[in-house]
A and B are shown apart, each in its own frame.
Chain A
Amino acid sequence: MNAANPIIEAFREQILSAAKNQTKLSIEGGGTKSWYGNPNAHPKLDTRPYSGILEYQPEELVITACAGTPLKEIEAALKEKNQILAFEPPNFGEQATFGGAIAAGLAGPGRISAGNFRDFVLGTRMMDGKGQDLSFGGQVMKNVAGYDVSRLLPGSMGTLSLLLEASVKVLPRPAATATLRCQISQEKALRVLNEWAGQPLPLSASCWIGDSNGEGQLSIRLAGAVAAIKAAVPLINSLVNASEVDPQSAETFWNDLREHKLPLFENLGANQTLYRLALPATCGPLSIPGSDKEIILEWHGQQRWIKAPGDEATFNLIKQLASSHGGHVTRFKQGANVNPAFQRFTLLSEQTHSQALELVQERLRSAFDPAGVFSTNRLP
């Protein structure tokens, strides 16, 4: 169906030769997230040669691009038409690619209101471990023809197939935004955020930074129709005694949060790990022995960033704590002295009612990649 493209043919050759030689390939774009996930030293498959926006019609609310396209290029194209990737995937560097962002599956502050990356993926073209050029989904939002294989790719970290192209839903930039800030305890912040989320308020993002046992600073982003923001600002200000942040500093703040440029993210001790906790909204403040006092809560408390010792004992403790609340934890970033071989993720076998899924996952990977070319264990 697709005319032979020399770049894609080279990908195929590399995959088939790896399969033949029983070796693995580590798929990589700009390398801005190469520290994320379990480390591996396999030969790289560089996606960057396959680059470019293939189709973008703003009125269709969808952009189709090659995996190697710089994320910056996509965001610039959208900006020109006043549209956005509403889940705000982090770049973590100038070289970030579209494919890399999808494979990492990470989302920024907007995730709590907009959804995660997979919610926006409409279709993909991929190459499996047999060198087959496959297309799933499409460019339309409603599509239930065949299993939704495309949505397995976000967060798969290159362990299922090589992503070649993706069609991703985009949204108009909100007509108005406002950021409000107040001092508040963690417990109260968690309560008011969830209460507001159950009301017709234009809540778009939240971030609480502070001492896990005491006070902190809550930033709230509102986004929507001009009239909605005008009405919501005084209401929220009066409820929590907040004040509005000037638009320029607000934009910098949300961007720094998204790109992990806030101080908490930047100064990781050599023996520390930056833990990412994903938790249900019911989870109150957690206390983790040995952790830094300052923590960051995003997504109304459903994503938490905590710096704590990188040893296995601490990881296991946090893992148990997160699991007991119905969530999970990731070793997101490691300090220089932390053993890089430590498992970065919570395993399916460690969660209730997902042990049987470990086998399903294994069979799924082997269906797309029988020789295990992409089975790098970067995501277990």
Chain B
Amino acid sequence: MILMNMVTPPPDIAAISALQSKLVSALRPILPEHALLWEPEDTIPYECDGLAAYKRMPLAVALPETEEQVAQILKICFAMKIPVVPRGSGTGLSGGAMPISQGLVLSLAKLKKILSIDPFTRTAVVQPGVRNLAISEAVSHLGLYYAPDPSSQIACSIGGNVNENSGGVHCLKYGLTLHNVLRVRGVLMNGEIVEFGSLAPDAPGLDLLAIVLGSEGMLAVVTEVTVKLVAKPKMARVIMASFDDIEKGGNAVAAIIAAGIIPAGLEMMDQATTRAVEEFVNAGYDLEAAAILLCESDGTPEEVAEEIERMTKVLEQSGASGIQISKDEAERLKFWSGRKNAFPAAGRIAADYYCMDGTIPRRHIATLLKRIQGMEKKYGLGCLNVFHAGDGNMHPLILFNGADVEEWHRAEEFGTEILEACVELGGTITGEHGVGIEKINSMCIQFGEGERESFWGVKSAFDPEKLLNPDKGIPTLSRCAEYGRMRISGGKLPHPELERF
């Protein structure tokens, strides 16, 4: 927050109010009355997304009900040079939908129809505001489902998933949003309607769909998504394995993959997490274990039996101190309940928690966990570690008290150090939550000047005026320079070998 104010000077209040009237009168003719909000009491729910620490009030909020309205809104904003921040369900954890003070929030929440379902081609065409889980629910009777299942799937929208390239617990086997979306229809900032990808296996020209996926609302506004549906596995079972040492647990993850097994889910929790969640869900976790692994197998009963046996063998050889296999669906869900409730459990033992989202190569899991233990002492804050271990994507939950500003800053510093460690270990600062506004400074650590410049080149190819969610995702040169100075003045310059600007 402090950093942001350094880069953007506080805007003039009278000018903002004049701009607001201009924008509202331009949008009123094209939108129903209830679809345009500008009074502070109406727009305040939009001041932030799932990352509540970053807030700002927009000029106005538009809630279009048709693609045509989306296109018209964008045309008007394009002509007025007013920046637009697209928003889905607002569950994002990196501030990607945080408003811009002199901009419009474009909520796609009212575009929430499932337009068609085709069991023969295993596809569904849905509007961006459709919730992730609603797709699977709508096709369940056909024996199909939509595979990516981010933890927020009850609430998060498919449009948001497209923009974050969301994963979930099962993406090791079933892939990310990228692997499960065939076509995206959207509107460019100038109001032109376009289609990326195709129902055919490929489309002419460069693969622009690949770059729109995960673009954090900066390249196009999504108005329609064609998703791939897959056959529901007949059954699933999960193994819960305890390890008395984090390192052994980390090595077991690598050993399962090396044995040629791709489990449907492969998750890890450290002791602090199991203790926090056990109190909450009574899943029967081994509280003495330094780490718990959940390894899921799905498929036909024969396949599952075969895979469970193979995984059990590998886990035993990797030194598991205890192994339990779910006997039935109820027990499987019980084993998972703790993992699924890690976030609320964190919310129960601390006033606030700050969820991180780095990815590292699997072999470094133990190294990173040990480093985080050191950081807990350094910053005087606790941390729960839950991992999508199968793909090295970790979500440390840093516990802090948000009422104490100094403690929040320590939590931020703690988080930044974790992300720096991820980059150093050959990983990335964000696996699935996005850069948004939160990790924009860390982008300066992960990428050099050439890459940063190329990202702006990509942005300009879609949005030459830089009006679509322009303050997210990619840092400006001056921001990186400012950030570089800050880190040096703190006496903790990371990566001195990196070029500074």
Contact = CB atoms under 8 A, between A and B. Distances in A.
Contact of A146 (B175, B200, B302, B474): B474
Contacts of B123: 281
A227 B198 CA distance: 35
B403 to A, nearest CB: 31
B416 interface: no
A302 interface: yes
A98 B461 CA distance: 28
Contacts of A159: 206
A175 B260 contact: yes
A336 interface: no
B393 A142 contact: yes
A144 B431 contact: yes
Contact of A327 (B144, B198, B362): B198
Given A140-B361, A147-B215, A356 B194 contact: yes
Interface in B195-222: 195-196, 198-208, 210-211, 213-216, 219
Contacts of A173: 260
Interface in A293-313: 299, 302-303
Contacts of B211: 147-149, 151-152
Interface stretch (B269-277, B330-338, B439-447): B439-447
Contacts of B260: 82-83, 172-173, 175
Contacts of A134: 448, 450-451, 454
Q: Which of A142, A195, A354 neighbours the largest number of chain B CB atoms within 10 Å of its CB?
A: A142
Contacts of B188: 356, 360
Interface in B153-207: 164-165, 167, 171-172, 175-176, 178-179, 185, 188, 192-196, 198-207
Interface in A66-110: 82-83, 105
Contacts of A367: 454, 457-458, 460-461
Contacts of B427: 138, 140, 143
Interface string B294-311: 000001101101110000
B149 interface: no
A370 to B, nearest CB: 9
Nearest to B182: A280
B143 interface: yes
A111 interface: yes
Contacts of B393: 140-142
B132 interface: no
Interface stretch (A10-18, A43-51, A341-349): A341-349
A59 interface: yes
B392 A142 contact: yes
Interface stretch (B43-51, B78-86, B114-122, B485-493): B114-122
A225 B216 CA distance: 38
A173 B262 CA distance: 11
A59 B255 contact: yes
Contacts of A226: 306
Given A144-B434, A194-B120, A115 B179 contact: yes
Given A155-B202, A364-B458, A60 B498 contact: no
B426 interface: yes
A368 interface: yes
B110 interface: no
Interface in B243-294: 254-255, 257-258, 260-262
Interface string A96-134: 000000000100000110011011000000001000111
Interface stretch (A196-204, A208-216, A257-265, A266-274): A196-204
B204 A144 contact: no
A128 to B, nearest CB: 7
B432 A118 contact: no
A282 B435 contact: no
A255 B257 CA distance: 27
B237 interface: no
A109 B406 CA distance: 58
B464 interface: yes
Contact of A280 (B199, B234, B299): B199
B455 A146 contact: yes
Given A367-B457, A380-B205, A142 B121 contact: no
B451 A136 contact: yes
A281 to B, nearest CB: 4
Given A145-B429, A225-B302, A59 B446 contact: no
Interface residues of B, number: 102
A142 B433 CA distance: 10
B349 interface: no
Given A140-B428, A172-B262, A363 B213 contact: no
A147 B455 contact: yes
Interface string A322-357: 000011100000000000000001111011111011
Contacts of B255: 59
A105 B306 CA distance: 35
Given A142-B167, A200-B299, A59 B195 contact: no
B462 interface: yes
Contacts of B214: 144, 147-148
Contacts of B464: 363
Contacts of A363: 460-461, 464
A328 B450 contact: no
A372 interface: no
B175 A200 contact: no
A154 B198 contact: no
Contacts of A327: 198-200
A240 interface: no
B97 interface: no
B299 A228 contact: yes
A70 to B, nearest CB: 25
A142 B391 contact: yes
A171 interface: yes
A140 B200 contact: no
Contact of A152 (B119, B210, B216): B210
Interface string B389-432: 00111000000000000000000000000000000001111111
Contacts of A365: 206
Contacts of A4: none
B200 A328 contact: yes
Given A198-B143, A228-B299, A367-B454, A59 B258 contact: yes
Interface in B469-489: 473-474
Q: Which of A224, A280, A379 neighbours the largest number of chain B CB atoms within 10 Å of its CB?
A: A280
Contact of A361 (B193, B206, B460): B206
4 smallest A-B Cβ distances: which pairs?
A: A367-B457, A227-B302, A172-B260, A142-B431
Given A140-B427, A357-B208, 4 more contacts: A142-B359, A143-B428, A155-B206, A225-B303
Interface of B: 118-123, 142-144, 164-165, 167, 171-172, 175-176, 178-179, 185, 188, 192-196, 198-208, 210-211, 213-216, 219, 229, 231-234, 254-255, 257-258, 260-262, 299-300, 302-303, 305-307, 359-363, 388, 391-393, 426-435, 439, 443, 446-448, 450-451, 454-455, 457-462, 464, 473-474, 497-499
23 contacts: A61-B257, A119-B178, A140-B428, A141-B359, A142-B388, A142-B391, A143-B359, A146-B446, A146-B474, A147-B215, A152-B207, A172-B260, A199-B231, A224-B303, A228-B303, A230-B302, A231-B300, A303-B201, A348-B204, A350-B204, A356-B188, A365-B206, A367-B454
